Structure 1
Amino acid sequence: MNKTYKARIENVIRYIEANLDARLTLTDIAEISHFSPYHFHRIFSGIMGETLNDFMSRRRLERAVNQLIFKPDLPITQIALASGFSSSANFSKAVKLHFGYSPSELRNPDKVQDSKIGKLFSKYGKEFQPSDLYPSRITTDVMNQTELKDTTMKIEVRDLERKSVCTLASPKGYEPDGIYAAWDKLITWADNHGIKPQDQQRFALAFDNPTVTPLDKCRYTASIVVDEGVTVNPPFELAEIPNGKYAVLYYKGPVEETINAQLSIYSDWLPDSGFEPDNYPLMERYLNDAREDGYVEMEIFVKLKEI
């Protein structure tokens, strides 16, 4: 992919994410990209694999559903208006059309009787059940296997200093082959720049919730801590992990169960913590190589701010 095109589209994504509650026009967004409005739509669709309108609609709904689940005290109408919808009725219709379930059904999956097939499956091929959003619904066997009851009790609030990192995005979202391809390239880059594999501090930024976002649409960035002033050339990028307070959960277990550990921070710990998530993606620090060991050992970080 042309590096200039990729950088311009990434600027557009950041702009949209910061303004999901606003009325964004094609002209406004095309101006951010520095592409002509006549061609921007085709360029965006070609690179992202979905139209601009589909992307913005999906991201608004995904953010809104995360708020429905993790902020149960917020009225549905308030979430609807904050997500850019003109009314709760329009919001409910859009949620039902996309997910196959209404907002009230997502908040009360025990009352779900039936549902229509939403766009999430018909357009993206993603199976979706409201119960998947709630880690408390994990079966006893899975809980015992992954020891999540113990890990959720090991959350600590930690002050983290700012870190410079060299990053590389997964080309296929959360798809395992995309993630491993990004890590292989980044680990090799670090080794070639004097950071031996055993000395590498490896962090990943996980921007999306895979229970509501198709895996290939989830954004995942591999990162390795580097010294200040290091030179980084494309396709790698220089970024930083901001300083601040983070909730940190130690997890060791099957890779496929990490989502349950992540969600437990939001559903079980945050409500009574005195904090809320800051505007920064969930972060993972890897302590082993899952491909060699057959399990993952890591720390899960959620950046915090006081309520």
Structure 2
Amino acid sequence: MLLKDQQRVHNAINYVLENITAPLSIAEVAKQVYLSEFHFHRIFKSITNEPFNQFVRRKRLERAFHCLLRYNQPTITEVSENCGFSSSANFSKAFQAYFGFTPSQHRKATPGINSKNGKLFSKYGKEISPATTYNGSLSEQQSDVVKSKIIRIEVVKLADTHYCTIASTQGYAIEGINGAWENMREWLARHNIPMEAGKSAAFCFDNMWLTPEQMCRYESAYVIDDIEWAKQSDVCVRTQKAGRYLAIEYSGKKSEMQQQMQQLYLWILSDYFANTHLNITYEYVIERYINIDCNNDIFHVEVLIKVN
């Protein structure tokens, strides 16, 4: 896949996420990235593993799923408007068809209901329920293990940071992640940019408990100083926006990194945020790779989650 096509899909996704509350057509977005509708549809699906209209609908529903759990309790009408639905009735119908339960049941954590009647389970095999939002939670012992590996957790203010990025074309699958990093290393070498400690990161856009693995968006990222030069090159660029972030510094075994990071995220979503007044923006999660030491089986990462 050409990096130029990745750039166009990257820009299209950014446009969708920035305009998620507005009506969006494939013709409009294709025009934004200077492609015909046919060509745009073809390359979008080949890179994201789902058709454009399905992507937009899924992102709206997943955003609504999280918004309904916010501490400040927006109304269902407010959620439907903020997620780009034409009416609360259309939103409720689409939400139940996809997740298998209503927005009200989700908000109230109604027991005895699961997602087996929804598209999320029938098509993708993802089973959730209002009472156990992320398909269960950690045991007390597992939670204690996660907390024992947390070095630091605090809300910090960060300035803009610019990155060049290359996305996985296999979502969160380890093969896709490794491929994204192989392409990043090749791109940096081609432009004589050395890989330095503390500059590698990843942008993770999707909740692994809600989104099929191959449709999750993972972008390998590397800090770049000359953002204007990067924009003119054959690579995608993304800015970590200035603002308040929940910063969680975490260390574990490199050989168990994928499993340990999943448990960390489950603890954050089902335990930490459930007991705090922080509201997540749900744009993306950033993983800053402070140290990856395969020889000594250690990884050291900082997770950044933008909060209001």
With structure 2 as the length reference, what TM-score do the two structures score?
0.79
The residue number in structure 2 matching 1:300 is 303
CA drift of 1:35 comes to 2.9
Alignment deviations for residues 169-218 of structure 1 (CA, whole Å, 9 cap, x no partner): 22212111111222234345546735355x35221111221121112111
Q: Residues 291 and 299 of structure 2 are in contact (CA less than 8 Å); yes or no, is this contact kept in structure 1?
A: yes
Q: Is the 8 A contact 2:115 2:127 kept in 1?
A: no
Partner of 2:105: 105
* Deviates further, 233-242 or 54-63: 233-242
Give distance in 2, aligned partners of 1:231 and 1:24. Answer: 30
Distance 2:114 2:133 in 1: 17
Q: CA deviation at 1:122?
A: 3.4
Distance 2:284 2:125 in 1: 22
Counterpart contact for 1:281–1:302, Cα < 8 Å: yes
Letter in 1 for 2:24: L
| Cα deviation code 1:115-163 (max 9, x no counterpart) | 434222333x342223563599311232233336x73x94223333443
Amino acid aligned to 2:303: I
Counterparts in 2 of 1:294 and 1:206: CA distance versus 1, 3 Å? same
Cα distance in 2 for residues equivalent to 1:175 and 1:12 = 22
| Shift in CA distance, 301/86, structure 1 to aligned 2, threshold 3 Å | same
Say which is worse superposed, 257-266 or 96-105, in terms of deviation.
257-266
Q: CA RMSD in A?
A: 3.5
* Equivalent position of 2:122 in the other structure: 122
Show the counterpart of 1:63. 63
| Matched residue SS, 1:174 | coil
- Between stretches 70-79 and 52-61, larger displacement belongs to 70-79
Is the alpha carbon distance of 1:9 and 1:161 closer, same or farther for their aligned partners in structure 2, counting shifts above 3 Å? closer
Distance 1:33 1:229 in 2: 19
| Pairing 1:201–2:202 present | no
Which letter maps to 1:287? I
Gaps of 5+ in 2: none
Distance 1:189 1:146, change over 3 A: same
Q: Secondary structure at the match of 1:91?
A: helix
Report the alpha carbon displacement of residue 64 of structure 1 after superposing the two structures with TM: 0.8
* SS of structure 2 residue aligned to 1:204: strand
For the 8 Å contact 2:162–2:237, the answer to whether it is kept is yes
Q: Which amino acid aligns with 1:210?
A: M
- Relative distance call for 1:286 and 1:77 in structure 2 (3 A) is same
2:272 and 2:70 map into 1 onto residues whose CA distance is: 11
What TM-score results when the alignment is normalised by the length of structure 1? 0.79
C-alpha distance 5-286 of structure 1, shift in aligned 2 (>3 A): closer
> How far has the Cα of 1:272 moved from its partner?
7.7
Partners of 1:138 and 1:244 in 2: CA distance: 30
State the secondary structure of the residue aligned to 2:68.
helix
Per-residue CA deviations over 1:73-107 (Å, capped at 9, x if unaligned) read 22223212322224433322212221223223333
Cα deviation, residue 62, structure 1: 1.0
Match of 1:241 in 2: 240
Aligned to 1:221: 219
* 1:116 match: secondary structure: helix
AA aligned to 1:246 is Y
Aligned to 2:82: 82
Q: What is the distance in 1 between the residues matched to 2:89 and 2:234?
A: 44
Moved more, 203-212 or 289-298: 289-298
- 8 Å contact from structure 1 (residues 146, 252) kept in 2: no
Task: Find the residue that maps to 1:289 and give its secondary structure.
Answer: strand
Alpha-carbon distance between aligned partners in 2 of 1:96 and 1:229, rounded to the nearest angstrom: 43
Q: 1:177 to 1:290 in 2, by over 3 A?
A: farther
Q: CA–CA distance in 2 between the matches of 1:89 and 1:213?
A: 24
The answer (yes or no) to whether the contact 1:132–1:211 under 8 Å persists in 2 is no
Helix, strand or coil for the counterpart of 1:299? strand
Contact 1:72 1:107 in 2 (8 A): no
